[in-house]
Chains A and B, each alone.
Chain A
Amino acid sequence: MVPKLRLTTRIRQQVSRVAGELAGVSIVLACLAVSGLAQEPAVHYWHQGIMPPGAIGSRQLQRGGPLAGFFQPVEIKAPQGVSISLAVADHFLPPQEAGAGTMYPWSAGGSRVGLLIGSVYRLRVTNIPRAEGVEIFPTIEVIDRTFAPVDQQVRFAIPVEIAQQDLELAMEGKFVTRVIYLEDPHNALPVRNSESQSWFEVTPGHDPLAVADELGRPVAILRMGARVPDQGPDPNFYFGSPAWVKYPPRTAAQAKPVRETAPARPAAAPAAPAAPAAKQP
């Protein structure tokens, strides 16, 4: 016969109390640990600019917020005469010449489209000045959105500029990455933007996304160059041809002339009063 262990009531109470205390401490520690893991700083530092197109936007969507399915207005700018085509159903649309019918002062032309956040859009750039016949296939990835007033979303579209210098570098085989960021107004440059968008140069070895994150909030990435992709039925080249929305171009009333006034400086101090002339005898 197996002897039956019988605990006294006092021992059972002590064991229950110790177990309860341990459980309570465990719950508190588990809550702290889980809450600590759930803290996500509002930066992109764990991303890198060299990540493949679409990776950063996809990770951005996983962070939640009103990003998924939002068509972020984007204004694509290019030098005068350059033709730009967007892909639809794994085919490029007929090219549209930049600058036709627009009077936007920052560039010769521009077109405004709505792009999904997290998707990658393949463009075809042709009719490049001094390089007719050459085609460049940039990609645009929108990784964040703006929260413009209800009736001002298209007006404050994110400008994505395809500069002539970038096109020439891409034709030389270089890989150009432009991270467009929303400037922090407290760290803004005290200069007035001219015809082209202000940009900083980041040397190889540095992460342009991290640099842009220090200066503001990255919202879009433009990549171009490095190699000529194989065109064909491969849908990966078009990244699935995600849907996009076309907005009407800027009208003449919306376009503003470039101001030529000089920057405001303090007015010159009034000239010192001239010394009184000596009295003539």
Chain B
Amino acid sequence: MAIILLGVLILCSCRGNAPPTTNTWSPSFNPQPTTTAPNPVVDPQGGYPGSGLNDRPADDQAGYAVVPAEYIAPQPQPQPQVQAYTAAPIDGPCIMGMPGMEAGVPVPYTAAGPWIPPGIVPPWPADEYLRDGGNVGPPVAVGKNGELLGLQMEDTVARYNTLDGRTLVEPSNKVDLYSPRFNAVRQVVDAEVDQQRHRASGIALPVKPVMPRTSEPVALNAQNLRAVRDIGTNPAGQLRARVTHATLDSELLPRAFDNGFRPFENVSVIRSGIYLGSDAPVLARGSQAAIAWGSAEGVHVILDERTAAALVAKQKLQETYAIDSAPNPRLRIVKAASTPVAEPGDEVSFTIRFDNVGNQPIGSVQIIDSLTTRLEYVPDSAQCSLKARFSTQPNEGESLVVRCVLSDPLPVGKGGVFRFRCIVR
């Protein structure tokens, strides 16, 4: 019984490195597409029924045209209705690529968008997205001298001082931008790279010995010189120029603040700092803001500029609010981007909403955003709804750390908006 089970197990789990069915090293190797035969279960819309993967782009549906790769059958015969497979005109040429596909190439399922491998947290694949915001690496902390420790690329945090002398750090949510960038690796070889040329190195002239004890050394070494392959001169692919800055920080005077809210900012948490449940789908579209806070922060009652806490009194039907005497300083920051997708060269606006959701005023509020490598800060684009100073500082990714320092302490229940623009490299 055990031997039978062993055999069945080995035979059933053989997804190893199966040898290719064709000799891929053969010079006459002709790759064949895997769509070897039309799938009879393809639905008329081109997707696999029930798969939920029929998500051809909207603009594709509007404007694409299948260019026929016509195959001339040896014997003319009426073509079947190929539109169900190919989305090509019925009276047009059959689109196909090789014999055996007379019925056409099945319009494939497009697994982009909703499809991700099971168990993978979106966004996926990660190499097609730019991430900015949150605290990716180790938690950002404040050193003894007030410096920020552990601030890495893509981090967006806010630091502030409390009344009892502590300095706290609060990260923002993450913002994901779909912005793939493509580069290339080029290799230039000569067709004669594998040839070895041998040429005559000279004529060997034997020399007679002059004296019996004198032996002439080898006068000529017939060495076959092998042809050196054509080593192409390789110019520098990239010129990376580093500009050393005399100073690390530079302060910019605050500019005028645009009070108008942009479409992507038109959510309650950005406008007024009050988080509503209806904001979650909007923010979750390009960020993980929906999980950054819970329902406990949804409604706040402010009494005498101090956050009130609910007194649980079971003997009464209503809830009584009173001022919580325990200090609980807290700053909430929410980050949003103007677009979830961006091509290289596009300009993206970032908006950071900050609110004092604690029960005591906080001071020295700084919002720090370390931009990722592919985000280039637009100079003089920072603005804040409160009186603030802006500064920039290079980071390790040859981008900038944008800093907004509020000039005044932030009272309880108050907040503001910090905006800046970036160009996607």
Chain A residues packing against B (C-beta within 8 Å): 19-20, 22-24, 26-27, 30-31, 34-35, 37-38, 40, 49, 51-55, 57-59, 61-62, 66, 68-71, 86-89, 93, 105, 113-114, 116, 118-120, 146-156, 158-159, 161, 166, 169, 173-186, 188-193, 197-204, 206, 208-209, 211-212, 215-217, 219, 226-227, 235-236, 239-248, 256, 258-259, 261, 263-270
Contacts A118-B31, A149-B178; A88 near B185 (Cβ below 8 A): no
User: Do A182 and B252 have beta carbons less than 8 Å apart?
Assistant: no
* Residue among A69, A71, A241 with the highest chain B CB neighbour number at 10 A: A69
User: Do A197 and B398 have beta carbons less than 8 Å apart?
Assistant: no
**Please, which residue of chain A has its CB at the minimum distance from the CB of B3?**
A23
Bound: A55/B26 CA distance, A:
10
User: Do A256 and B343 have beta carbons less than 8 Å apart?
Assistant: yes
Contacts A192-B425, A267-B252; A88 near B237 (Cβ below 8 A): no
Contacts A59-B24, A175-B189, A266-B247; A199 near B98 (Cβ below 8 A): no
User: Do B31 and A243 have beta carbons less than 8 Å apart?
Assistant: no
Please pick, from A51, A183, A242, A270, the residue contacting B69 in the complex, using a CB distance under 8 A: A242
What's the nearest-Cβ distance from chain A to residue B245, in Å? 6
Instruction: Find residues 380-425 in chain B having any chain A CB closer than 8 Å to their own CB.
Output: 392-394, 397-400, 423, 425
Number of inter-chain CB pairs below 8 Å:
383
User: Do A20 and B35 have beta carbons less than 8 Å apart?
Assistant: no
**Please, which residue of chain B has its CB at the minimum distance from the CB of A207?**
B187
Instruction: Find residues 120-151 in chain B having any chain A CB closer than 8 Å to their own CB.
Output: 124-131
Interface 1/0s, chain B 62-86, versus A by CB < 8 A?
Answer: 0111111111100000000000000
B327 part of interface (Cβ distance < 8 Å): no
User: Do A236 and B108 have beta carbons less than 8 Å apart?
Assistant: no
Contacts A54-B31, A181-B182, A212-B185; A243 near B191 (Cβ below 8 A): no
CB contacts (< 8 Å) of A246 on chain B: these are 64-67
Interface 1/0s, chain B 1-23, versus A by CB < 8 A?
Answer: 11101100110011111101010
What's the nearest-Cβ distance from chain B to residue A193, in Å? 5
B318 part of interface (Cβ distance < 8 Å): no
What's the nearest-Cβ distance from chain A to residue B94, in Å? 10
Please pick, from A198, A201, A243, A261, the residue contacting B66 in the complex, using a CB distance under 8 A: A243
User: Do B425 and A193 have beta carbons less than 8 Å apart?
Assistant: yes
User: Do A148 and B112 have beta carbons less than 8 Å apart?
Assistant: yes
CB pairs A–B below 8 angstroms (17 shown):
A24-B2, A27-B2, A34-B10, A55-B29, A88-B70, A116-B97, A151-B57, A174-B191, A175-B188, A182-B181, A183-B182, A200-B186, A204-B232, A240-B97, A248-B63, A265-B243, A268-B250
Contacts A20-B2, A52-B24, A192-B344; A243 near B183 (Cβ below 8 A): no
Instruction: Find residues 208-266 in chain B having any chain A CB closer than 8 Å to their own CB.
Output: 229-232, 234-235, 237-238, 240, 243, 245-252
Query: Interface size (B, Cβ < 8 Å)?
Result: 122
Contacts A89-B71, A150-B113; A38 near B13 (Cβ below 8 A): yes
Binds A, one of B293-301, B362-370, B371-379: B371-379
CB contacts (< 8 Å) of A24 on chain B: these are 2
CB contacts (< 8 Å) of A264 on chain B: these are 376-379, 392, 400, 423
Bound: A112/B384 CA distance, A:
42
Closest 3 CB pairs of A and B: A54-B31, A23-B2, A69-B108
Contacts A192-B345, A266-B248; A204 near B229 (Cβ below 8 A): yes
Bound: A25/B108 CA distance, A:
45
Starting from the known contacts A156-B180, A183-B180, A263-B376, 12 additional A-B residue pairs (CB-CB under 8 Å) come to: A66-B110, A70-B108, A148-B112, A152-B341, A175-B189, A177-B189, A180-B182, A200-B185, A201-B232, A204-B190, A240-B32, A242-B33
User: Do A185 and B343 have beta carbons less than 8 Å apart?
Assistant: no
Please pick, from A87, A176, A197, the residue contacting B182 in the complex, using a CB distance under 8 A: A197
Bound: A155/B178 CA distance, A:
11
Instruction: Find residues 271-327 in chain B having any chain A CB closer than 8 Å to their own CB.
Output: none
CB contacts (< 8 Å) of A266 on chain B: these are 245, 247-250, 392-394, 400
Please pick, from B20, B60, B343, the residue contacting A156 in the complex, using a CB distance under 8 A: B343
User: Do A70 and B246 have beta carbons less than 8 Å apart?
Assistant: no
B329 part of interface (Cβ distance < 8 Å): no
Bound: A201/B173 CA distance, A:
39
User: Do A69 and B106 have beta carbons less than 8 Å apart?
Assistant: yes
Bound: A264/B249 CA distance, A:
14
Contacts A38-B15, A62-B20, A242-B69; A197 near B183 (Cβ below 8 A): yes
Please pick, from B5, B35, B59, B124, the residue contacting A147 in the complex, using a CB distance under 8 A: B124
CB contacts (< 8 Å) of B340 on chain A: these are 149
User: Do B34 and A69 have beta carbons less than 8 Å apart?
Assistant: yes
User: Do B6 and A161 have beta carbons less than 8 Å apart?
Assistant: no
User: Do A68 and B34 have beta carbons less than 8 Å apart?
Assistant: yes
Please pick, from B60, B180, B184, the residue contacting A178 in the complex, using a CB distance under 8 A: B184
Contacts A55-B24, A147-B124, A173-B190; A245 near B67 (Cβ below 8 A): yes
